[in-house]
Structure 1
Amino acid sequence: MAKLYPAIVTGALHTFQQNEEHRCIRTYLSNTSMPVPNDLDHLAVILGTSWVIRTLPFLDIGKQIPKTTSSDESLSWAIQQINHCRDSHQHCNSYLSAAILPKRVVFVGTTAEPALRLYESQGERDFYICLSYCWGRRPFLRTLFDNLESHKRCINPDDLPPTMHDAIEYTRQLGVHYIWIDSLCIIQDSVLDWREEAGKMASIYQRSYLVLSATSSADAYGGMHVSLPSDYQTFALTVNTKTNEICDSNIADQANFPMTTNTTETFYVRRTYDHVNRGTSSYAGRIPMLPTNKRGWIFQERFLSSRVLHFGPHELYFECLEDSACQCTDHSNSSLDQESVLGSKGGGVNETTPQQSHTDNFQQHSSMRKTIAKAYYGPVVWRIMTRDELMYAWHNMVHDFTRRDLTYAKDLFPAISGLAREMSVARAALHGNADKAYGTGYYAGLWKDSLVRDLCWKVGFENIATDDEDEVKRIKAWTDRALGWRAPTWSWGSVNAPVKFLGQEHGTKDFFTPLCEVLDVSSTAAAGSDEMGELITGRLVLRGQLLPARVTHPRLKTCRQDGLRLPWQILSLEFGVLVENFVQHLFVDDGCQDLLGLLDEMDAGGDPPVVYCFLLGVVRKGGSPVFLLLKKVKGQSEEEVGQDVYHRFGRLQLTGPPRRPKNDRTPWKERFGVLAQAKEEVVTII
């Protein structure tokens, strides 16, 4: 069979290479010695016989799918997944008894008697569907004060963009009478109505019967449905089982696949499809950056809802709290098993050393967020996690969320308020306070019971590489503070950038010991806003070691004139002593724009500006101290007028010396002699 395997694959590759449309096809041969061209995509075997599966064990096994997601076959498949979830999944259905309808929903009628109007509910219970989609920049019909009453009477379907039109028709086909669409069910020119409904949005999605996700559509005009591209057609390969040679190959008739004979075996190959999620199977279709994966609001819409039906680039993809399935592979990925997700109830940390536990736990969480994202970012798994695991989950969530775009900067906290509430319930339960959703304290995206560790965030661009021009524009736009005030500077919510937390950049959860005290922390929500939503103030008071320093850079004096954005890699700090025994890892929050403002305050002699390093704690692996980088500003509030307060502008970590002997047991405080200059201070950061 070792001889047969390369012969068949060679024939398959030859067949695809003869077709101009299939030059990018590649087969997966990780366990063979056969050389494979690097510029070809994966193959998938579909409708393979037992002989093919036994003989070609390393080829992905897929299924043929309908030519369009709007077909009757696709609808039947979707209904099958929904029914399977409804009948089999305890976790999904704990949320899905007929819920109280949202304040407003769109009544869609039936397929036989379609009707369309905005309905203001009276507290009754019924099933409803939600639409998750990208708005885009082109204007489309929305509910405003001026058309609210007319929408209650009738909405003209011809006035709706294709995505909404498709979603409404699909809702009818599923036999559901109501759909919730944000642009129609929230009065878009009412700040108060928007804040009120935005605070409920998480529960609206969470209690919906199903979420329809227009995953491949870049805006409201893209529609939900897709047709299978011609370069994903299926090829039939017939093998002579006696000579091990390809005796026939052609484009397969999808309606009439040829059968296996006594001397031949026929199997079918096609390109693998792009997938919304990797899942736990070995099926190796890539995960593209689809439009909905770029949008901030859609993040919690996906992870809070019990069921989501994605209209992907090639097929339908279904995921719920316990399972996931796509049209091109066998049902299912069996994504949620509480005994295997975290090892055991109450957490997955085994009885090992603390450092091993943190490292193993981090690797486990990294795997979970890739393979069972919907289960990982949701209440079912969160409620069986330990405190440390909840911290890891939140850090991972923030990292993934901050890589997404928001049209309005002020929406950042409202866009994850539902997830924050679920996280709060899970954390409160660990403190014996399960009935108080805010018992553990949530402040501007950070948690009181892990606050010092949560402060150890940094802007993380290192692993973002792309040739996409739009992606490059997004990355360039990320590097500033949010326009206007959105969050206090100590919060990751104050920057427009992807955020990483201590340990994520190293691939391990470093064992961290806090060395400062939180005296006070507060944040104030905007009027009418959800308590975990839009903010207007934030304040943090810490007691700990404060170390003055000066920022140095060869072009610091001229960067203001030439508009230079200084990368953190070429900045350093002077501490007033000769520094030879450690390495500085200095991470600036906003492309050094905060530092440029300090140039106006430079000493008359041209000395670099003074900044302050506040010691947060130490990473035990090697004894590496971690600091907040602060600059002084004048207080603005009544209680702060005339006082020195601080803004955060970065994070500093000291390591080294780079070539320290392995048997060196010198205490970290002695190795970092610069700390002798630090003094205990109380600092207020805003």
Structure 2
Amino acid sequence: MEGVKVEAIPPSSLCSVCTGIFNGKWQPQLRGWKRAIKRPGAPPDPFNPEPAFGTAYDHGMEPFVHGKGAPPTLSYPHHTVEELRASGASCALCQTVVLAFDALHPRNDIITDYMEGRKPYGVAVWGREEVKGAKGYVFVYTERGKTSRLVFRYHVYKDWAANRNMDVNPTVGEREGNVKDVMLDMHDGDSDVSKKENKHLIAWMDRGTSIERVAQFLNETSDFARDLPKSLVRELPTRLLYLMPGPSGPTVRLIDGANSSLDIDTPYIALSHSWGNTMPIQLVTSRLSEFPNGIAFQHLPATFRDAAALTLELGVSYLWIDSLCIIQDSASDWLHEAQRMASVYTFSHLTIAASASKNPATGLSPSPRPRTVIVRPTWTGYIQEWGLQPGQTLRITNPWHQEFGNAIVSAPLNRRGWTFQEYALSPRVLHCTDGEWWWNGIGDGIYRETSTDAIRFFTGPGSVSWPDKLAFFNMERRRRTHTPDAWLWDRLAAQYNQRALTKRKDKLVAFGAVAQIFGRVTGLPVDTPGEYAAGTWRSLLPFGLHWAVGENAERYVMRPGAEDEGYVIPSWSWASIDGLVRFHDGSSLRGTREEQCKGMPRVVDVQVVTEGGPFGPVRGGFIILHGPIFRIRADKKARDHKELGFYRGFTVLRSDGSEAWKGDGQGFSLDSWKSRLDEWADDREMYLMIADCDAEDRYGDAFAILLESVEVGLKGKGVFRRIGSTRFSFHGVGLLMKDVRQDGNEALRDGEYIDFNSTTGFYTYKII
């Protein structure tokens, strides 16, 4: 497309109403009225006009009148959101506004959401009732030296006009709390390529269509295999879909990837998608002989059809879709293929992520693309106000969806547990979102359809919402950024645990491929029996025990079904929690391993029972530790109740039941969500295991795990189950132990431990 000019960029298709915004002969209203700055009665500000545009007074809506007598704004024909939504089927601008209504917005920001224990997916901007009753109008405002805005303003109450004199903001003249805005950026003068903000659309168009740009991205990153772990042997998926173009749509055939004559380096594309509530077509045992003969293209759901067509457009003939390449009613095949996901995604030519699709029927991009709306105003007001030339391009974008966190992280696909590995492991991903495509590889740059500049979304090792693909695959990156392996692993676990799963038995299976690749990249002995244990690594213990349930964690509570019977994740594993977890891993930043583990218990043994290999479903397990553990009595009443975290006093007891030390106002977090909400009935006895402390014999902070004893006759002596955690300050393990061991006392009683060191007073105990 060499030599493409601005004039060659086709304008977007607009409805007659939206066309009128740019082609009418309206006069600017409210000139010199600057919201929140301009006071009523003040002289006009010629440098900061806020002209508002309307069509007429006769469109069925009373014009809004400023509370202090400022000139009225004119009504907008799409004065209900429902009308706007109906028009969005054919109008790019209406659709852009509708998408803003439907988008999920973070309640604060991703970091704050995490620290307050909330998932970073946000909430809908408007409730259904608000949308149903909203009325509005449109206006434009400009600020000198800044991007102009096209504003769709809606009032969420039907009687907003009648109540405009009640509770009125004297500056704006509108009732506070009843106004909702959708603000779109307007970039004028795209032919003036000297302006950086106006360059990128033309530059992208010069590089060809979106398909051509994605193909160029694949070509430029064709050496991605250099970043993959050398210990992972390349292999083709067990089954693949073979695609052939045809006049009425591609032909689709299931082939045996393992036993076919395909070269091992044959490129294939993988699809990452959400199943939703139903899957219209699946590979089941009864169709195993049918699918190799052909699958009717029209019988595939829209997302699968779009993925097949896109695969062929990118010059690839093979596609992998889980529901069509894994026998869904075969437990043995499912388990076998689940163990091979590391290879399937890591060696894929590209992974297509149907980010915006809630189910297979919605297609890859349910909304028109790209989100940028191109118009060429003929109304003289634009020319007079901004100096546009007749026929010059005006580019309108939704700034909200230019943010990777809003477009991708909050997308429906990325709320599901199984899809975490599909992004983290795939060296190259094409994200198909509402209105725009994004793509990225093993690197910092994330590209989108409407920009040549890479987005620098924060996915560093400290990210709490999105995996850092570069640090995941690249050990040199970790060394350069001083990122300990234990720290990165904890962040991956925390990110994954915020996602939803349907079946409890899948909890660690859906994370197994991530674990396998992380272990191989990091140099952990992945193939050694017992190295990977229920979501943690023996080589990285005891760091993997230092987690706490996030306060306010909005968890997905998975009720065990019949298929979950017999699958039990040990209580000491973060994977036993349905919801957000945070890790207390500051000690992992210390220099040597000895320095890191000082103040932590010693790991004696770890055993986990799995099905189908170390990364398969977990049936049970235990960990045996040696270190300081105390019996305590936690107060019945909370001294403070903040953000659903109980701040309680507790007393350390001696073996004879007497009080050894009193802690005041400590923060207790129980792993059971419901029990954190209810007041305890009585002063509660439990056990406090010191997991990490700053110092042995002086005042400092400590992180402890709360345990309850398991019935002696059931599991043997010295057996506990984790029930929570706490952070507290005290005068060190040495002095606390001295307080406890008075008058011949010890910390625990007979039967509460496996073994005992009479010199240190430390115990050996088991957690199941």
Q: Same fold (TM over 0.5)?
A: yes
SS in 2 for 1:149: coil
Match of 1:356 in 2: none
Whether 2:652 is the aligned partner of 1:517: answer no
How many angstroms apart in 1 are the aligned matches of 2:739 and 2:378?
74
Q: Conserved in 1, the CA contact under 8 Å of 2:688 and 2:707?
A: yes
CA apart distance, 1:653: 1.7
Residue equivalent to 1:43: 185
**Aligned equivalents of 1:443 and 1:83: distance in 2?**
39
1:683/1:181 CA distance change after superposition, 3 Å: same
CA distance in 2, matches of 1:671, 1:587: 22
**Do 1:417 and 1:532's aligned partners in 2 also have CA atoms closer than 8 Å?**
yes
Which is worse superposed, 327-336 or 301-310?
327-336
In the TM superposition, what is the alpha-carbon distance from 1:375 to its structure 2 partner? 2.3
In the alignment, structure 1 segments of 5+ residues that lack a partner are 260-265, 279-284, 342-363, 465-473, 556-565, 600-605, 657-665
- What residue is the counterpart of 1:228 in the other structure? 368
SS in 1 for 2:557: helix
Query: 8 Å contact 1:273–1:314 — kept in the other structure?
Result: no
- Report the alpha carbon displacement of residue 294 of structure 1 after superposing the two structures with TM: 0.1
SS of the residue 1:520 aligns to:
strand
5+ residue gaps, structure 2, are 1-31, 38-44, 55-72, 80-93, 98-137, 150-170, 173-178, 654-658, 748-760
* 1:110 aligned residue: 245
Give the one of 668, 674, 688 matched to 1:586: 668
Name 2:618's counterpart in structure 1.
Answer: 535
Once residues 608 and 583 of structure 2 are traced to their aligned partners in structure 1, the CA distance between those partners, rounded to angstroms, is: 21
Aligned-pair identity in percent equals 22
Is 2:632 aligned against 1:549?
Answer: yes
1:2-41 superposed matches below 5 A: 14=52, 41=183
Partner residue of 1:162 out of 296, 302, 311: 302
Residue 214 in 1 paired to residue 354 in 2?
A: yes
Residue 327 of structure 1 aligns to which amino acid in structure 2? E
RMSD, matched Cα: 5.0
Cα distance between partner residues in 1 of 2:284 and 2:403: 34
| Structure 2 residue corresponding to 1:82, chosen from 218, 241, 249 | 218
Q: 1:46 to 1:622 in 2, by over 3 A?
A: farther
Tell me which of 125, 129, 142 is aligned to 2:282.
Answer: 142
Residue 63 in 1 paired to residue 201 in 2?
yes
Among candidates 424, 444, 447, match of residue 325 of structure 1: 447
Secondary structure of the equivalent of 1:646? Answer: strand
Deviation (angstroms), 1:10: 5.1
Opposite residue 251 of structure 2, the aligned amino acid is A
Matches within 5 A, 1:529-678: 529-554=612-637, 567-569=644-646, 572-576=649-653, 577=659, 582-591=664-673, 593=675, 608-619=683-694, 623-634=700-711, 641-655=715-729, 670=735, 678=747
Q: Secondary structure at the match of 2:454?
A: coil
Residue 557 of structure 2 is aligned with which of 466, 469, 477?
477
Instruction: Show CA shifts across 1:461-489 (max 9, x none).
Output: 34x6xxxxxxxxx6363799998643111
Aligned-partner residue type, residue 608 of structure 2: S
Q: Aligned AA for 2:506?
A: D
Deviations 1:424-466 (A, max 9, x none): 123336xxx7xx654992211112233122211011134x6xx
1:40, distance to aligned residue in structure 2 (A): 5.5
Tell me, yes or no, if the aligned pair for 2:346 and 2:425 is still in contact at 8 Å: yes
1:324 alignment partner AA: I
Deviation, 1:182, is: 0.7
Q: CA deviation at 1:111?
A: 4.4
Equivalent residue in structure 2 for 1:195, among 322, 335, 340? 335
CA deviations on 1:382-417 (whole Å, 9 max, x unpaired) are: 775799621111111111110101111111112121
Report SS of the residue matched to 1:391: helix
> Alpha carbons of 1:80 and 1:73: their partners in 2 closer, same or farther (altered >3 Å)?
same
Q: Distance in 1 between matches of 2:143 and 2:469?
A: 27
For 2:582, give the aligned amino acid: K
Q: Which of 393, 399, 404 is the equivalent residue of 2:499?
A: 404
- Find the counterpart in structure 1 of residue 547 from structure 2: 457
C-alpha distance in 1 between matches for 2:496 and 2:370: 35
Q: Which amino acid aligns with 1:415?
A: A
Q: Which amino acid aligns with 1:610?
A: E
Residue equivalent to 1:119: 255
Aligned equivalents of 1:652 and 1:29: distance in 2? 53
Change (3 A) 1:289 1:12: farther
Q: Are the equivalent residues in 2 in contact too, given 1:52–1:267 (CA < 8 A)?
A: no
Shift of 1:184: 0.9
Output the CA distance in 1 between the equivalents of 2:558 and 2:53.
45
1:302 partner SS? helix
Q: Per the alignment, in what secondary structure is the counterpart of residue 720 of structure 2?
A: strand
- Cα distance in 1 for residues equivalent to 2:438 and 2:686: 51
Q: Secondary structure at the match of 2:462?
A: helix
TM-fit CA distance, 1:594: 10
Structure 2 residue 386 is the aligned partner of structure 1 residue 258: no
Q: Among 301, 310, 313, which residue is 1:173 paired with?
A: 313
The Cα of 1:572 is off from its aligned counterpart by 4.9
| Residues 446, 455 of structure 2: 8 Å contact kept | yes
Deviation per residue, 1:328-380 (Å, 9 max, x gap): 211434899xxxx9xxxxxxxxxxxxxxxxxxxxxx6336x779833244456
Give how far 1:44 is off: 6.2
Q: Which residue of 2 aligns with 1:350?
A: none
Q: Which residue identity lines up with residue 557 of structure 2 in the other structure? A: A
Instruction: Report the AA paired with residue 104 of structure 1.
Output: R
Aligned to 2:584: 502
Contact 2:356–2:364, Cα closer than 8 Å, also in 1: yes
Q: Distance in 2 between matches of 1:681 and 1:24?
A: 72
Change beyond 3 A, Cα 1:667–1:407: closer
Checking the alignment, whether the CA contact within 8 Å between 1:480 and 1:593 is kept in structure 2 is: no
Computing the radius of gyration over CA atoms, which structure comes out larger, 1 or 2? 2
The 3-state SS of whatever aligns with 1:205 is: helix
SS class of match (1:175): coil
Determine helix, strand or coil for the equivalent of 2:673.
coil
Q: Are the aligned partners of 1:303 and 1:378 in contact in 2 as well (CA < 8 Å)?
A: no
Distance 1:85 1:493, change over 3 A: same
Q: In 2, distance between residues paired with 1:627 and 1:28? A: 55
Report the TM-score, using the length of structure 1 for normalisation: 0.71
Amino acid at match of 2:727: Q
1:153 is aligned to: 293
Cα distance between partner residues in 2 of 1:9 and 1:684: 73
Cα distance, 1:13 vs structure 2: 7.7
1:424 and 1:438 in contact (8 A); partners too: no
C-alpha spacing 1:269/1:161, structure 2 compared with 1 (3 Å): closer
Once residues 232 and 128 of structure 1 are traced to their aligned partners in structure 2, the CA distance between those partners, rounded to angstroms, is: 31
1:389 counterpart letter in structure 2: P
In structure 2, distance between residues paired with 1:287 and 1:29: 32
Q: Is the 8 A contact 1:310 1:316 kept in 2?
A: yes
User: What SS does the aligned partner of 1:423 have?
Assistant: helix
Query: Is 1:270 matched with 2:397?
Result: yes
Distance in structure 2 (CA, Å) of the matches to 1:643 and 1:24: 74
Aligned to 2:117: none
Q: Which residue of 1 aligns with 2:568?
A: 486
Q: 1:101 to 1:580 in 2, by over 3 A?
A: closer
Question: Structure 1 pair 501/142, CA: closer, same or farther in 2 (3 Å)?
Answer: same
Give the TM-score taking structure 2 as reference length: 0.64
1:116-152 deviation per Cα after TM superposition (whole angstroms, max 9, x unaligned)? 2211131532211111000011241111111111112
Q: Would the alpha carbon gap of residues 530 and 274 (structure 1) be closer, same or farther in structure 2, given more than 3 Å must change? A: farther
> Structure 1 651/194 Cα, relative in aligned 2: closer, same or farther at 3 Å?
same
Conserved? CA contact 1:616–1:626, under 8 Å = yes
Whichever residue aligns with residue 311 of structure 1, its letter is C
Q: Which amino acid aligns with 1:500?
A: R
- Does the 8 Å contact 1:512/1:618 carry over to 2? no
